[in-house]
Amino acid sequence: MTLLSVNVDHVATLRQARRASYPDVVEAARIAEAAGASGITVHLRSDRRHIQDRDVEVLLDTVKGKLNVEMAATDEMLSIAERLRPQQVTLVPESPEEITTEGGLDLTTHSQRIAEASSRLREAGILVSLFLDPDLAQVEHLVRLGTENITGFEINTDTYTKDSGRGASHHLDTISTVAEAGRAAGFGIYAGHGLTRDNVGPIAALATIEELNIGHYLVARAVMVGLDTAVREMLDAMRTD
């Protein structure tokens, strides 16, 4: 059964809009896990536009499942990870101008930096995942880096979620092929970006993908029906569509 890690970044986005004490990301994480989520994901950005360092610290003490912290492979972020030691870090590309993460890491250009960052994280006892586009060339570079320090990768589902026509099946096939190649090489396989209750089914049905990371849709849906209901709806869609 595919697991669900709920990204609570945009709960923090609402809070930071007023620099208020609410809504509380820790409370959101508690509700999500109580509703069936296997863990929680947060992105600690260099610009701190939503999640703050203190959020990660408190979540480490309160999340019952896996806490997955997304971050750029910068010295600042790596030092924070080494100090806090979350269960998993997912290395992602980051640009100050972006609204959200716009694509996967480019291992063709940055493999050495990613290798060094992954080594530091594993030495601290942290599981390491990379956010990658569904591109076999990227998986080939990943295989060269090996599984000693990198334990898995998250497939960027953006192109699949943006194509509601016949092309969606092509993107799904590509994701499936990349997932199979990664699993065969010994990596844990995750997926996420732009997934909703309406499009999650075919992705969740791929046996090679063990966990989905979903955030924006769930927080947006929670505005209408509450986070508990939003998470339960998503889990139902993952299991039945």
- Whether the predicted pLDDT of 73 surpasses 70: yes
160: closest CA among 197, 207, 206, 193?
A: 193
Q: What is the pLDDT of residue 165?
A: 63
Question: In the structure encoding, which two tokens stand for residue 97, read together?
Answer: 């101008």
- CB of 235 closer than 8 Å to CB of 5: no
Q: What is the pLDDT of residue 194?
A: 95
| Banded pLDDT at 1 (limits 50, 70, 90) | confident
For the entire predicted model, the pTM comes to 0.95
CATH number of the domain within which 181 lies? 3.20.20.70
Count of domains for the chain? 1
Average pLDDT over residues 106-115: 95
- Whether the predicted pLDDT of 113 surpasses 70: yes
102 vs 155 pLDDT, higher one: 155
Would you please indicate which residues are annotated as catalytic (active-site) residues?
A: 43, 70, 193
Report the share of the chain in percent with pLDDT over 90. 91
Average pLDDT over residues 131-156: 97
> If you average pLDDT over every residue of the chain, what do you get?
95
Q: What is the pLDDT of residue 137?
A: 96
| Banded pLDDT at 214 (limits 50, 70, 90) | very high
3-state class percentages of the chain: helix first, strand second, coil last, to nearest 5: 50, 15, 35
* Residue 226: partners with Cβ closer than 8 Å, 6 or more residues away: none
pLDDT tens digits along 162-200? 986 666 889 999 999 999 999 999 999 999 999 999 999
52 vs 103 pLDDT, higher one: 52
Residue-number span of the structural domain to which 105 is assigned = 3-240
| Banded pLDDT at 103 (limits 50, 70, 90) | confident
- Whether the predicted pLDDT of 63 surpasses 60: yes
